[in-house]
Chain A
Amino acid sequence: MSCCDCKAKKNDLITEFPEKTKQLTAFIDALEIGIDRDKNRGFLIESLHEAQSLFGYLPRAIQQFVADKLKLHLSEVYGVISFYSYFTDTPVGKYKINICTGTACFVRGADSILQEFKRLLVLEEGETSVDEKFSLGGLRCVGACSLAPVVMVNEKVYGKVTTKMVAEIISECH
C-alpha cells in the first residue's frame, strides 16, 4: 500500500506544480467550454497538448483534472491518450533520444542504429532509464530524408548517423 501511495503522491503534479496548474486552467478556461459534452470533447486534444507541454507527461491526476474541466469522463480522456502516440502517461527522460522510423531512414540503416542505442543504454524501445536521464524511442518521419538515418535528441537533429557515432551522441548528453 505504501508503495502505491508514494506513487500516487509523486504523480500528483497538480498540487506539486501550482504555477503550471494555473497556466493549464487559464488555457482551458479561455476555450468555449459549455454544457454540450460533444462540443467540449472537440477541445480535448488541444487541452492535452497544452497539459503535456507543461508537465512533460499525462499521469492520472492530470487526466482527471482535464476530464473535470471539460466535463468528460476519465475513461474518455484515457481512451484518447492511449490511442495517440504523441501522448504519454509515463514520465520521460531528460534526454529524449528518438530514432526516425521512416522508410528512408530504415533503408539507410536506422535499425542498426537503434540496436546500438539499445545495447549501450541497456534500454528497450519506449523505455526510460531508472535515473530518468534517457528515454529511447522511435519517431515518425521528420522529413529530413536527405540526412538519413536521422536521430533526434530532444530538439537537436543528428544526420547521417553511423553506429560509431552512437556512443558520441550519448556522451554529448550531460
Chain B
Amino acid sequence: MSRPEPEHYVAPIEEDELNTMDASELPDRRSNLWFDAWRDLRRRPLFYAAMAITLGVVVMAVFPTLFTSVPPNDNCQLMLGTRGPDLGARAPGHPMGFTLQGCDVYARVVWGARTSLTVGLLVVAISAIIGIPMGALAGFYGGWVDSVLSRIGDIFFSVPYFLAAVVVMTVMSSHKNVWVISLAIGGFAWASLARLLRAEVLQVKNKEFVAASEALGRSKFSTLMRHVLPNSLTPVIVSLTVSLGGAIVAEATLSFLGVGLGSSVMSWGNDISEAQQTIRTAPMALFWPSLFLTVTVLAFIILGELVRDALDPKARARR
C-alpha cells in the first residue's frame, strides 16, 4: 500500500523583485569622510586653482633656479651703476625691473618663496607639536589636567601672537633667522589650535567606539592615540592649512616692521618694506612682492576653506 504523496502547494518562485534588487548595482563607493571630501573637492574649479598656485609656490621654493638664473643678492650694486636712473623700469632680462638697491625684482621674488614657505611650514609644525598634545590631553583626561592645560592655553591665547613675536624678536635681535622667527610665531599660535582640538576631543570621547575600545581592555592612553585622536583631527588639519597662510603673513609683517628676518635674508616682507620708500617713483617694485605674497596666502586660505566645506557633511548635504 502506498501512501499518496501529499500535495504541497509550492508558490512559484517569484524572485524578480529580489533579483532586480540584487542586480541594481550600487555605486561601489567607500563611505569614508575623506573619500567623500575628495569626491566633493574634485568637482570644484576653485580647488584646482588653489592647488595649482600652491604647487607653483612649492616648486619655486624647492627649485628657484628653474625660474631664474640670477641669485637674489647678485651684483646688485653693479647693476645699480649700469642701469641708469629709471628705477623700477623693465629692462631686457629683468621683467620686473630693479629694487632701490639695484637687485633684480624678479629674482628676489622667486627666491622669496623659499623663505615664506619655510617659515609657514615651521610655524605649522611648531604649533602642531605643542597644540595637539595640549588640546588632546586636556580634552580627553579632563579634571585637573584640563584645568591646568587650559589655563596655560588661555594665557598664550590672550597674548596677540603678533605682539608676542615683536617682543621675542626684539630680545633675540642678534639671532634673526628663520628658526627664531618661526619659534616666535609658532610659540604663541598653538593656543587656538589646542582650543579647537580640545573641543573636538570632548565630543569624540563620548562616542560608542571609544567606550567599546575601553571595554575591550585598551588602556586610556592607547584609546586616545588609536581612536580618539585620529577621529578629532579633521578641524585641526583645516585650521593648520589656514594658519600656514597666516604664518606667512606674520613673517612678512614682522620683516616689514623691521623685527623680522635680517636684511640679508630674502623675504617678501623685507622687499616690501624696502620698496615702501619708493612708492611714488617706483610702485612696481612694491607691487610684485605684494602680489606674490597675497596670491600665496590666498591660495592656502581658500584651500583651507574648501577642505573645511568638503569635510562638513551637513554643508555638503545643503548643496
Q: Do A and B bind each other?
A: no
